[in-house]
């Protein structure tokens, strides 16, 4: 009987403890999860336009990032050239402004290094040392990646060998600023086969070409306006010469086709040879001119690529992309045509891409092959296209006959010849549109025509982007 009473009393005694965890009315308390959220500490190299944008976005979205990642993303240190200089952003609490690279590189509490300082030499040292010290890297440095991509891959392989927590390398902001093309090529086409990519991948030149086309401005006038608005650097050579676009194209080629190529081998022609008359003829044809980076699968074993002004038909998805906007079209077997359009540069578009990489790292996302698997495809410098050929001339007899004979000799078939009324004899020019021929053949035609007495100055040629361009005229 006593045992029975004891059991009952025991049950009664235990029962109240079952209700001890019911929340009672009172002041709101911070959850245990929030108090124990791990910290992902950043070391940022560069406190200028993009670096400031990163700091501002983190400050604005701090709570959202913590909910999304389960971690507290914190800017620990920012490395700049002049620590006394006033910043155009609020420096976060507990963030230290430093000028010594080692203050970040040798700080074991820094988890992720964000490189937005630009350049090659110092930036390369910072990135390589960060990787060797086990710090993941986020960078916007397209020139460095394009030049040293094989070295970066080899270093990551070496450092991550046998390492449980892999060092990550992220670079979404390196190509086309705010457009998420890197991640898309890493994840959205894994079951697909890319046949071609073409894009407006330099904002400065697209702004200039828009001004020349829409506003009838000369090259010099368009460049002056681009400089005044901050789209062109003091030395605009990298932009107007096509070299900036070539660096981006080299990276995109590795991701899209797995092909390794020295960027200096990619045919690169900028916009400096374009004139008002080219836009007049482009309008006559119903289209416009864009500086494009193009890479295309010739066959299963060969990839061709170039950076060049191109004639684009008026109904093409790239023709309406104006101003400093960037756009990339990816043509593939499964998805057919996918076009990405957005801001290619600027404080917040570029910072936004860096933030996406930082948040992905804080979430624990993994990218074992940041540049996608390699392939056996080989890069070839020659490619086939319909070409636009503009020739400046002095009055004379037999000009058309000369052109026909040279084209026949070089195996180039002429589709049409265009000529506007001549208003200035010293500025007279006509245009030949070819059928699809090789770049090698069109160069041979240009060399032979330039040697003739009536030809004034170098011949100008550019590819026509689509083979079916004639259909757009119907």
Active site residues: 248
Longest dimension (CA), the chain: 131
Please say whether the beta carbons of 431 and 417 come within 8 A: yes
Name the region of 355 (left: φ>0; alpha: ψ -120 to 50; beta: rest): alpha
C-alpha 285/C-alpha 418 separation (Å) is 9
Please say whether the beta carbons of 464 and 385 come within 8 A: yes
Minimal CA–CA distance to 125: which of 109, 141, 111? 141
Q: For 342, what's the count of Cα atoms within 13 Å in the CB-facing half-sphere?
A: 17
Residue 5 buriedness (CB in 10 A; 0-12 / 13-18 / 19+)? exposed
C-alpha 189/C-alpha 181 separation (Å) is 11
Q: How many CB atoms lie within 10 A of CB 315?
A: 13
3-class DSSP state for residue 460? strand
**What DSSP string runs through 317-367?**
TTTT--TTEEEEEEEETTTEEEEEEEE-SSHHHHHHHHHHHHHHHHHT---
C-alpha 406/C-alpha 33 separation (Å) is 78
Cα angle at 266 between 262 and 270, to 5 degrees? 130
Classify the C-alpha dihedral 17-19-21-27 as positive or negative: negative
**Residue 332, strand partner residues:** 194, 336
In total, the chain counts a number of residues equal to 474
Tokens standing for residue 425: 């004899």
């Amino acid at each position: 009987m006593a045992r029975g009473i004891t059991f009952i009393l025991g049950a009664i005694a235990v029962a109240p403890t079952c209700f001890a965890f019911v929340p009672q009315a009172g002041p709101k308390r911070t959850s245990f999860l929030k108090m124990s959220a791990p910290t992902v500490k950043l070391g940022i190299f560069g406190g200028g336009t993009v670096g400031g944008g990163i700091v501002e976005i983190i400050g604005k979205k701090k709570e959202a990032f913590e909910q999304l990642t389960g971690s507290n993303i914190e800017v620990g240190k920012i490395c700049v050239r002049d620590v006394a200089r006033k910043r155009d952003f609020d420096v976060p609490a507990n963030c230290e402004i430093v000028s010594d690279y080692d203050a970040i590189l040798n700080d074991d509490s820094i988890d992720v290094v964000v490189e937005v300082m630009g350049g090659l030499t110092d930036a390369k040292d910072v990135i390589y040392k960060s990787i060797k010290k086990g710090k993941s890297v986020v960078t916007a440095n397209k020139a460095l990646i394009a030049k040293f991509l094989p070295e970066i891959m080899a270093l990551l392989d070496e450092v991550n060998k046998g390492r449980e927590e892999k060092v990550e390398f992220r670079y979404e902001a390196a190509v086309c600023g705010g457009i998420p093309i890197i991640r898309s090529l890493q994840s959205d086409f894994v079951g697909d086969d890319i046949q071609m990519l073409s894009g407006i991948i330099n904002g400065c030149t697209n702004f200039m070409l828009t001004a020349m086309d829409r506003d009838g401005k000369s090259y010099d006038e368009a460049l002056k306006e681009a400089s005044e608005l901050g789209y062109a650097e003091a030395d605009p050579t990298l932009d107007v010469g096509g070299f900036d676009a070539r660096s981006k194209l080299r990276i995109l080629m590795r991701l899209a086709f797995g092909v390794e190529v020295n960027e200096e081998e990619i045919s690169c022609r900028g916009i400096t040879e374009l004139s008002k008359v080219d836009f007049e003829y482009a309008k006559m044809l119903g289209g416009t001119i864009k500086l494009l980076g193009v890479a295309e699968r010739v066959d299963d074993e060969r990839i061709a690529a170039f950076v060049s002004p191109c004639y684009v038909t008026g109904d093409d998805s790239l023709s309406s992309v104006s101003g400093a906007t960037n756009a990339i079209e990816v043509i593939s077997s499964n998805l057919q045509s996918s076009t990405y359009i957005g801001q290619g540069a600027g404080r917040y578009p570029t910072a936004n891409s860096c933030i996406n990489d930082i948040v992905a790292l804080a979430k624990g996302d993994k990218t074992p092959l940041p540049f996608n698997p390699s392939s056996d495809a080989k890069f070839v410098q020659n490619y086939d296209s319909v070409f636009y050929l503009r020739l400046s001339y002095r009055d004379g007899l037999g000009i058309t006959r000369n052109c026909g004979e040279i084209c026949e000799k070089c195996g180039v078939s002429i589709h049409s010849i265009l000529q506007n009324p001549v208003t200035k004899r010293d500025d007279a020019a006509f245009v030949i549109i070819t059928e699809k021929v090789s770049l090698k053949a069109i160069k041979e035609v240009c060399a032979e025509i330039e040697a003739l007495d009536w030809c004034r100055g170098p011949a100008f040629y550019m590819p026509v982007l689509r083979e079916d361009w004639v259909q757009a005229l119907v």
